[in-house]
């Protein structure tokens, strides 16, 4: 038996292909939305993995450096280093801000780390070019997404930083590229006040009789010095010695240092379940709406195609074609349309995903699930057309 | 093969009920022998199409009896369960317009019926090709219907109607869109095919040109048929006269 669906498609292949192409673009958008969600989760995981930490020590009662503001004294890490099971501990600051580069603004997460080599907590895990931070000031290791090249100058607040290294896939949970700078510079950037404000502050302090007491030389200078230096960091990243359980060490730090501690899995939960939960729901809604729109489009196209063949269907029925042959013809066309749409959509999503500002992760599993959903939608969408075709009276072929 | 053609006795068809009751057929008697071509003529609304639909097992009559050869197909109710198979294997249709399937080439338009009946593609296409060649359109086998002239399309439609060697062919104004010469050529083909395949052919027509070719004509008026003898002129001769 010849394939009626195949012949019909071949007969009007340009129209069919163009329809499939249009549907494919819609499916491509749907796959991209799923890819954006996967990218967000992956970004969160990469952020955690690349931090090189087993524990995040943050201000008590906060959700840590990525989800909520947290500040603790910069010398906290010393007492943490003395705890059993702790191999390394390093201060770190995080600040999402606009930095200037190449005459424009770049939204970036500025990470303050203690200069050192790879493997240190908070340091980028690997570089694609250049070197790690070695100087105490005015050097930056930037993610390539920031658009920097080695030797470029990046302006953060009032200071100019030279790009000495480049890294890749180091982005915040919001998708902003990370810029790693020395901790002292980052603290200054985070808490630095402008010159006018500093002058005003000094004047106000000098006018306060509590701070400017007669007969107590040096007090005013000490107070002013304390006001203009920052002694806070956002978190201490901790690496453990082999054989120590993160939960047990975290519990000890929490108990004795009176700080909040999160393990890797807890931090992953905060990032994925809390930070990107709203975005995930938003994307989920888009996916549902796009699936419904796709189904409606397939149903409408297949219904229109079937209605255009009503006379032929009446003739086919009159000459003895069974319902299942006619239903199969329509079903095959719907599935064919869905398959073309999926292939076009997959190719389109793959081609345009690098141009998205956020990382789009197209997982093979999602593609397989997407294909199954498209097929199910195609089958469901063909029901309307099949019902209409089976209602066609063969007497219509005779007329009269 | 059909033993004694198609026989219809007292066939009735009513539409509606109560005040809207319409008697479309009020007791039609008709008999067409194998290899015979009869005409069915009548004014609009006389019941021609209704009779054709009943004969084609497309609509169910209200009363009466229909027999195809030795097989009773209707006797106060359908006696055959699978009416599609009945149509596919026993009744060929030729319409006013050819109604070929536009997305199949000429060969597959004809071969589709035997394929639907379960014949292998190769066998079905061979049989279709033989018929197309017999109808002088074999050279257009790979053409699409839209590429054919009106006369060629009608010949392909005739080939489709004949391909399963049905005992009966129902032709609904098959010459309406054709000029007189082509119309007579189509009737000549139907006559030849009727003889060759022992097929009973009923042609519904208004066409004055082809009416003289029938040996028997059934007039239908107010839902009843009246039989009369026709002139029985040879369509081949008429074609020659037309050409001259």
pLDDT digits (tens, 9 = 90+) for A266-281: 999 988 888 888 888 8
Instruction: Give this prediction's pTM.
Output: 0.75
Is the separation of the CB atoms in A57 and A374 below 8 Å? no
B24 falls within a domain: yes
Residues of A in Cβ contact (< 8 Å) with B144: 11
A308 contact B CB<8A? no
Cα→Cα distances A120→A84, A236, B20, B97, Å: 19, 12, 94, 85
Residues of A in Cβ contact (< 8 Å) with B88: 319-321
In Å, the largest CA–CA distance within chain A is 120
Q: How many Å apart are CA B212 and CA A25, to the nearest integer?
A: 63
CB contact under 8 A, A399 and B96: yes
A318 contact B CB<8A? yes
pLDDT of B3 over the 60 cut: no
A89 falls within a domain: no
Report how many domains make up chain B: 1
Contacts of residue B137, defined as CB under 8 A and 6 or more positions apart, other chains included, come to B106, B148, B152, B155, B156, B159
Q: Which site among A5, A310, A398 would you substitute to test the B interface, given the most B Cβ atoms closer than 10 Å to its Cβ?
A: A398
B133 falls within a domain: no
A310 falls within a domain: yes
Q: Are strands A178-182 and A104-113 parallel, antiparallel or unpaired?
A: parallel
Q: Which residue of A has its CA nearest to B44?
A: A400
Residue A372 pLDDT level (bands cut at 50, 70, 90) = very high
Residues of A in Cβ contact (< 8 Å) with B58: 318, 393-395, 398
A381 falls within a domain: yes
Q: How many Å apart are CA A180 and CA A162, to the nearest integer?
A: 11
B16 falls within a domain: yes
Residues 354-393 in A contacting B (C-alpha not used; CB under 8 Å): 393
Q: How many Å apart are CA B55 and CA B13, to the nearest integer?
A: 12
CB contact under 8 A, A322 and B84: yes
Q: Which of A346, A343, A331 is nearest to A378 (CA)?
A: A331
Q: Percentage helix, strand, coil, to 5, in chain A?
A: 55, 20, 30
pLDDT in tens, A281-319: 888 898 889 888 888 888 888 888 888 888 889 988 888
Residue B233 pLDDT level (bands cut at 50, 70, 90) = confident
Unique residue bearing structure tokens 């069919």: A16
| Full residue range of the structural domain in which residue A357 is found | 4-43+277-397
Domain containing residue B235: CATH number: 3.40.50.300
Cα→Cα distances A51→A56, A93, A124, A238, Å: 10, 12, 7, 10
CB contact under 8 A, B58 and A398: yes
What was the ipTM of the complex prediction? 0.81
Q: How many Å apart are CA B226 and CA B224, to the nearest integer?
A: 7
H or E element: which one contains B210? none
| Full residue range of the structural domain in which residue B58 is found | 6-99+167-243
Mean predicted confidence (pLDDT) in A377-385: 89
Residues 159-198 in A contacting B (C-alpha not used; CB under 8 Å): none
Q: Which site among B53, B156, B202 would you substitute to test the A interface, given the most A Cβ atoms closer than 10 Å to its Cβ?
A: B53
B151 falls within a domain: no
Q: Which residue of A has its CA nearest to B96?
A: A398
Report how many domains make up chain A: 1
H or E element: which one contains B73? strand B71-75
CB contact under 8 A, B85 and A315: no
A10 falls within a domain: yes
B140 falls within a domain: no
DSSP A67-110: TS---EETTHHHHHHTSTTEEEEEEEEEEEEEEEETTEEEEEEE
How many helices (DSSP H) and strands (DSSP E) are in chain B?
Answer: 7, 10
A12 contact B CB<8A? yes
Across the interface, of A2, A10, A320, the residue whose CB is closest to B84 is A320
Tally of CB atoms within 10 A around A75 = 11
Structure tokens at A19: 């329809």
A350 contact B CB<8A? no
Q: Which residue of A has its CA nearest to B116?
A: A321
Crossing angle for the helix pair B121-134 and B106-116, to the nearest 10 degrees: 130
* Residue A52, pLDDT score: 85
Mean predicted confidence (pLDDT) in B169-189: 84
Q: How many Å apart are CA A218 and CA A146, to the nearest integer?
A: 45
pLDDT in tens, A152-183: 999 998 899 999 999 998 888 888 999 999 99
Is the separation of the CB atoms in A318 and A43 below 8 Å? no
Burial class (CB in 10 A: 0-12, 13-18, 19+), B61: buried
Across the interface, of B53, B56, B116, the residue whose CB is closest to A321 is B116
Q: Which site among A319, A321, A329, A396 would you substitute to test the B interface, given the most B Cβ atoms closer than 10 Å to its Cβ?
A: A319
B138 falls within a domain: no
Residue B2 pLDDT level (bands cut at 50, 70, 90) = very low
DSSP B6-68: EEEEEEEEEES-GGG-EEEEEEEEEEE-TT-EEEEE--TTSSHHHHHHHHTTSS--SEEEEEE
Angle at B123 between CA B117 and CA B128, to 5 degrees: 80
B193 falls within a domain: yes
Residues of B in Cβ contact (< 8 Å) with A322: 84, 116
Q: How many Å apart are CA A274 and CA A254, to the nearest integer?
A: 22
CB contact under 8 A, A325 and B116: yes
Residues of A in Cβ contact (< 8 Å) with B172: 398-400
Is the separation of the CB atoms in B108 and A7 below 8 Å? yes
Mean predicted confidence (pLDDT) in B18-33: 89
Residues of B with CB under 8 A from a CB of A: 48-50, 52-53, 56, 58-59, 84-89, 93, 95-96, 99, 101-104, 108, 111-113, 115-117, 121, 144, 160, 172
CB contact under 8 A, A320 and B88: yes
- The mean pLDDT of chain B is 88
């Amino acid at each position: 038996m010849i394939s009626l669906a195949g012949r019909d498609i071949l007969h009007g292949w340009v129209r069919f292909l163009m329809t499939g192409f249009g549907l494919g673009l819609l499916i491509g958008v749907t796959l991209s939305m799923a890819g954006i969600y996967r990218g967000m989760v992956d970004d969160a995981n990469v952020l955690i993995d690349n931090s090189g930490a087993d524990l995040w020590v943050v201000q008590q009662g906060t959700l840590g450096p990525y989800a909520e503001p947290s500040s603790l004294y910069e010398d906290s890490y010393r007492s943490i280093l003395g705890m059993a099971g702790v191999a390394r501990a390093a201060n770190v600051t995080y600040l999402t801000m606009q930095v200037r580069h190449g005459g424009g603004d770049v939204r970036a997460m500025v990470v303050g780390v203690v200069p050192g080599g790879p493997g240190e907590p908070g340091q980028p895990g690997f570089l694609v070019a250049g070197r790690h931070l070695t100087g105490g000031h005015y050097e930056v290791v930037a993610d390539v997404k920031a658009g920097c090249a080695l030797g470029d100058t990046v302006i953060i607040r009032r200071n100019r930083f030279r790009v000495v290294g480049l890294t890749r896939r180091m982005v915040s949970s919001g998708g902003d590229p990370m810029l790693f700078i020395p901790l002292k510079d980052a603290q200054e950037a985070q808490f630095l006040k402008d010159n006018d404000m500093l002058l005003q502050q000094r004047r106000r302090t000098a006018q306060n009789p509590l701070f400017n007491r007669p007969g107590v030389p040096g007090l005013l200078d000490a107070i002013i010095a304390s006001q203009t230096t920052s002694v806070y960091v956002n978190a201490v990243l901790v690496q453990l010695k082999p054989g120590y359980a993160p939960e047990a060490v975290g519990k000890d730090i929490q108990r004795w240092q009176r700080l909040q501690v999160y393990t890797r899995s807890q931090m992953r939960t905060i990032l994925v379940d809390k930070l990107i939960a709203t975005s995930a729901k938003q994307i989920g809604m888009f996916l549902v709406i796009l699936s419904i729109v796709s189904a409606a489009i397939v149903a409408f196209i297949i219904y229109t195609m079937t209605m255009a063949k009503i006379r032929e269907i009446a003739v086919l029925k009159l000459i003895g074609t069974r319902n299942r042959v006619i239903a199969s013809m329509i079903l095959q066309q719907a599935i064919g349309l869905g398959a073309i749409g999926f292939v076009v959509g997959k190719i389109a999503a793959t081609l345009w995903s690098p141009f998205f500002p956020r990382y789009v992760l197209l997982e093979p599993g999602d593609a397989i699930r997407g294909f199954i959903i498209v097929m199910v939608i195609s089958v469901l969408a063909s029901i309307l057309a099949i019902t209409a075709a089976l209602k066609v009276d063969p007497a219509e072929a005779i007329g009269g | 093969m059909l033993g004694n053609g198609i026989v219809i006795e007292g066939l009735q068809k009513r539409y509606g009920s109560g005040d809207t009751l319409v008697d479309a057929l009020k007791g039609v008697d008709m008999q067409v022998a194998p290899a015979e071509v009869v005409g069915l003529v009548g004014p609009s609304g006389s019941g021609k199409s209704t009779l054709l639909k009943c004969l084609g097992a497309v609509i169910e009559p209200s009363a009466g009896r229909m027999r195809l050869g030795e097989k009773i197909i209707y006797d106060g109710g359908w006696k055959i369960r699978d009416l599609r198979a009945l149509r596919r294997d026993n009744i060929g249709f030729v319409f006013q317009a050819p109604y070929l399937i536009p997305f199949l080439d000429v060969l597959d338009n004809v071969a589709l019926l035997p394929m639907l009946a379960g014949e292998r593609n190769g066998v079905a296409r061979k049989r279709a090709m033989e018929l197309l060649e017999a109808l002088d359109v074999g050279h257009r086998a790979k053409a699409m219907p839209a590429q054919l002239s009106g006369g060629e399309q009608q010949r392909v439609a005739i080939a489709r109607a004949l391909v399963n060697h049905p005992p009966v062919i129902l032709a609904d104004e098959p010459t309406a869109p054709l000029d007189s010469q082509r119309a007579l050529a189509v009737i000549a083909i139907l006559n030849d095919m009727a003889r060759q395949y022992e097929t009973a052919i009923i042609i519904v027509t208004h066409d004055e040109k082809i009416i003289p070719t029938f040996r028997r004509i059934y007039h239908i008026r107010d839902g009843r048929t009246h039989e009369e003898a026709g002139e029985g002129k040879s369509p081949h001769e008429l074609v020659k006269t037309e050409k001259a």
